[in-house]
Amino acid sequence: MASRHEETREEVFRAKDDSGREYTIVRYQEWIIDFDGDRIPSLARYALATGGAVNRIDNDTFEIVSLGIEVKRA
């Protein structure tokens, strides 16, 4: 039996661009489930609540890929 993966929604927060527009960003955590059933944290990913890709620049700065803009945690 191979290990399996699971993804959970860990955080939802607002971020604003320079013009004051707000976006909802979600942080997802991937988990590896080992042979004993233990959950081991793996990669985290960020996305807009609508599903669009988001890159994390630092703890408070993110890039909305489809728009090519940076936003700051509100």
Q: Which residues lie closer than 8 Å to 3 by C-beta, 6 or more apart?
A: 32, 33, 34, 35
Q: Which residues lie closer than 8 Å to 10 by C-beta, 6 or more apart?
A: 27, 28, 29, 44
- Determine the pLDDT at residue 21: 98
Name the domain count of the chain: 1
26 neighbors 41 (Cβ within 8 angstroms): no
- Determine the pLDDT at residue 35: 87
Please give the DSSP secondary-structure letter assigned to residue 35.
Answer: T
- Determine the pLDDT at residue 2: 62
- Domain ranges, residue 40: 4-73
Q: Model confidence over 10-65: pLDDT tens digits?
A: 999 999 999 999 999 999 999 999 888 899 999 999 999 999 999 999 999 999 99
